[in-house]
Amino acid sequence: MTVQFLGKILKNPMVLASGILGNSKDILERVHEQGCGLVTMKSIGPEPRDGHKNPTVIDLGHGMINAVGLPTPGHLNMENEWKELEKRDFPLVASVYGGSVKEYQMVAEYVSSKKPDFIEINISCPNSEQHGMIFGINPQSSHDVVSAVKKVIDVPLIVKLTPQAPDIARIAKVCEDAGADAICAINTVGPGMVIDIESRLPVLAFKKGGLSGPMIKPIAVRCVFDIYRTVAIPIIGLGGVSTGEDAIEMIMAGASLVGIGSGVRYRGMDVFQKVADEMETWLLDHHLSLEQIKGAAHKENGE
């Protein structure tokens, strides 16, 4: 089930989401070998950061809550990883974040010199210059960060959006106008909180965290649906996918590729091949191709 994405041929439309399996070449290579068309690295930030205290990730059965806190060695401290990753023979997305437009630009320019196939900017981070407001909920700061990064990189740019934006489709359009080559939607939903009633305390050390996995899929599908109506660039649909039927739903909402994060926990590292096979079976059973179902939910009466 090969697909074209921004000039590259991928063996299937499945994408490993950022932050799920780290940055080691061996692990990312294994995911690709086990059926993932495109793999995304953990987000890389400007300064070394430990992240939050444990517990940081809790499985709620119907999804997960996490407050990992974007741990990163810092962009200048990954020479060993890059040396290995330069020898890869699989398509790679490097994910970048910062606390200001300048930081995004600095990290993205450096990461671009390491020649990933794509750069994704995670704009779900607080903007230090705007009193901690999340970049991706504000059209102006989304525009500023995308246009600044676009100027300094020489690989296609994917912008990863947050469902916290009151109008995610408007943010997507602003990002497209500022030079984004693709949109990835969505990051975790929240923040949420879970309290252990015996200890009477929040289960996460950081207390609040982002929700992911099956419980957020309807929100992710709605976001992809809204974005597809607004932009012409391709969309990576992400959020709550763990089966072939989930992936078909994302494609019908308008996604070109389908990401999986929490699904790796639920179905193992070979979830990508399982989901690709399940999609293929569904398409064969229905005598349809991927192209025929893309955006199908937008057509009146399913025509």
Ligand X SMILES: Cc1cc2nc3c(=O)[nH]c(=O)nc-3n(C[C@H](O)[C@H](O)[C@H](O)COP(=O)(O)O)c2cc1C
Least distance (Å) from ligand X to the CB of residue 215?
A: 9
241 binds ligand X (CB under 6 A): yes
Residue 32 token pair: 């690709």
Least distance (Å) from ligand X to the CB of residue 218?
A: 12
Q: Binders of ligand X among 176-195, rule CB under 6 A?
A: 187-188
Q: Which stretch binds ligand X (CB under 6 A): 73-81, 107-115, 256-264, 288-296?
A: 256-264
Least distance (Å) from ligand X to the CB of residue 135?
A: 12
Least distance (Å) from ligand X to the CB of residue 178?
A: 19
Eight-class DSSP state of 288? -
DSSP 3-state of 149? helix
Element at 257 (helix H, strand E):
strand 257-260
156 binds ligand X (CB under 6 A): no
Q: What is the DSSP string of 71-133?
A: -B--GGG-HHHHHHHTT--S-EEEEE--SSHHHHHHHHHHHHTT--SEEEEE--SEEGGGTTE
| Cis amide leading into 13 (omega within 30) | no
Q: Which stretch binds ligand X (CB under 6 A): 6-14, 169-177, 198-206, 260-268?
A: 260-268
Among 23, 66, 127, 138, binds ligand X (CB under 6 A): 66
Residue 50 token pair: 């430990």
Say which of 125, 175, 184, 223 is annotated catalytic. Answer: 125
Residue 58 token pair: 């809790």
**136 phi, psi to nearest 5 deg:** -75, 0
Q: Which stretch binds ligand X (CB under 6 A): 63-71, 100-108, 193-201, 279-287?
A: 63-71
The residues binding ligand X (CB under 6 A) are 17-19, 42-43, 57, 64, 66, 68, 70, 95, 122, 160, 187-188, 212-213, 216, 238-241, 260-263
Q: Known catalytic residues?
A: 125
